[in-house]
Amino acid sequence: MTEHGQPPTPVAAGAALVQLGDVPLADLLAGAGDGVLAHVLGALVADSEPGDVSAFESSF
Amino acid sequence: MSADASPSAARRRPAAAEPPDTPTAPRVRQLVLKVHSRCNLACDYCYVYRHADQGWRGRPRVIAPGTVSRVADRLAAHVVRHRTDRVRVVLHGGEPLLAGVDVLDRTVRTLRAAMPAGTTLDVAMQTNGLLLDEAVLALCHTHGIDVGVSVDGGRTANDRHRRHADGRGSFTEVAAALRLLARPEHRARYAGLLCTVDLANDPVDVYRSLLEFDPPRLDLLLPHGNWSTPPPGRRPGDPATPYADWLIAVFDTWYRETPRRSGIRLFESLIALLLGGRSGTQALGGAEPDIMTIETDGTIEGTDTLKTTTASAMRTGLDVFRHSFDEALRHPSLAGRPSGLAALAPACRSCPVVGACGGGLYAHRFRDGAGFAHPSVYCPDLFRLVRHVRSVVTADLDALRRRVTAPPGPAEAAPRGTVHPPVAGAGRAGPAVPAGR
């Protein structure tokens, strides 16, 4: 983004914590489609799962 | 447990004084409650019955009402003290459904009744599914109990290990249970499937078989093992990466699917960690030890996976009749153990993928007589998996970034919702980027 001389992109609360370089996740999410990556980006923007560590995995 | 230390004798003793709470004080976020100590399957890889800790032999089959009451009191005191607004209890075993609907109903009612106002108690259950029927699901709907089911793939894969004591496979029964759970009227209670990786099974076949049950989420578990008792096919120190190869085959298949059909916690956590987020699994990212286990006799233990190391590693000598959860958390098998970077071997601390790997599951670092300050016995596999996922995700994010930052022009005419990899083979539509990039 810097190389294009654009101003910093406004970032919603929560999304600012996790960015890739200087591009807010929310902006990446807008073009990410509906695959796996979009889901994870959406979770990060919303500060929801992953992060909800499961005890299910402690069991077989 | 000695007579002197019996729960009934200990109940009369006052609890020890505890230090004041702090915002960073360790706390229990998930309680694994063993409501039944036996199982109606005899899986040959089960850590409860087939690994080092054989403590189940001396425990009550079913948790007693008085024990549940004491657990509820301890949990309530803990959440009040830490001002916790949400905590989860996982009904567990053995096989929890062997306890019966009435016991489960009474258990959840007792736990919920003890919770202070403002604290939400989420309840889940991990079952082999054999006894999952309409009556059980009615109870799950009544109490909002989310159900996770263990199944290892299709019939051949599942029945390789998940058998009855007489050798019969369990697939037919668990498949019937999963078809019931996946019905629209029950789907709200469907938490997901838990599958243990077996190198003998084809990874993509396993994934496809699990998808047939339409799970909202999959957990892929590496079989438990450590440096002294290695997992199947994993020779400690061998640079071969059979488990990474297996997992990468699933990852590439799963990642390319659009729309996303199911979550896979291991992979989603890995992507999140690579992007600076948090892990949803204890197997990655150096997660804090916030899971406590309560056995049917009220014994307090740490995470169940430590049962695969040595019997003494899990034995706390603590129980809900004599000890608060905060006292128990100070034990080395719970939050009293090192965590984060401090818990890792020097080789891990300087590893380029430590931020995502986190040293792997704590139990997998164990070496008899030397403790847990080692890389995971799965270290080569974890390293390769992290590098592979990073290369694939990085390529896709680069493509996204170019779209976001591209100057206005013809590119705007491209339809939204699809990533267009700028480099052949870099995106989800192309072949996976070679590992080790």
Q: B416 at the A interface (CB within 8 A)?
A: yes
Residues B395, B404: Cα–Cα separation, whole Å: 14
Is the preceding omega at residue B380 within 30 degrees of 0, hence cis?
A: no
Q: Are B279 and B272 in contact (CB under 8 A)?
A: yes
For every one of its 437 residues, what pLDDT tens digit does chain B have, with 9 covering 90 and above? 333 333 333 333 334 345 545 666 788 989 999 999 999 999 988 866 665 566 667 899 999 999 999 999 999 999 999 999 999 999 999 999 999 999 999 999 999 999 999 999 999 999 999 999 999 999 999 999 999 999 999 999 999 999 999 999 999 999 999 999 999 999 999 999 999 999 999 999 999 999 999 999 999 999 989 999 999 999 988 999 999 999 999 999 999 999 999 999 999 999 999 988 888 888 888 877 778 999 999 999 887 777 777 756 667 899 999 999 999 998 888 877 777 788 899 999 999 999 999 999 988 999 988 888 899 999 999 999 999 999 999 899 888 888 888 776 654 444 444 443 332 233 333 322 223 32
Cα B357 to chain center, whole Å? 16
Contact B279 A50 (CB under 8 A): yes
User: pLDDT below 70 — which residues of chain A?
Assistant: 1-21, 48-60
Exposure string over A28-47, b if 16+ CB within 10 A, otherwise e:
bbebbbebbbbbbbbbbbee
Query: CB distance B277–A23 less than 8 Å?
Result: no
Can you tell me whether residue B182 is helix, strand or coil?
coil
Q: Does ipTM top 0.85?
A: no
Which residues of chain B from 221 to 250 reach within 8 Å of chain A, CB to CB? 221
- Tokens representing B256 are 């390319």
Model pLDDT, residue B338: 78
- Residue A33 touches chain B, beta carbons under 8 Å: yes
CB B265 within 8 A of CB B219: yes
Residue A42: list chain B partners with CB under 8 A. none
User: Would you call B270 helix, strand, or coil by DSSP?
Assistant: helix
Residue type, B366: F
Q: Is residue B27 classed exposed, middle or buried when 0-12, 13-18 and 19+ CB atoms within 10 A define those classes?
A: buried
Question: Pairing relation of β-strands B291-294 and B30-34?
Answer: parallel
- Which residue in B246, B219, B222, B49 sits closest to B151, CA to CA? B219
> Minimal CA–CA distance to B293: which of B30, B32, B27?
B32
A7 touching B (Cβ < 8 Å): no
Chain B residues within an 8 Å CB radius of A6: 405
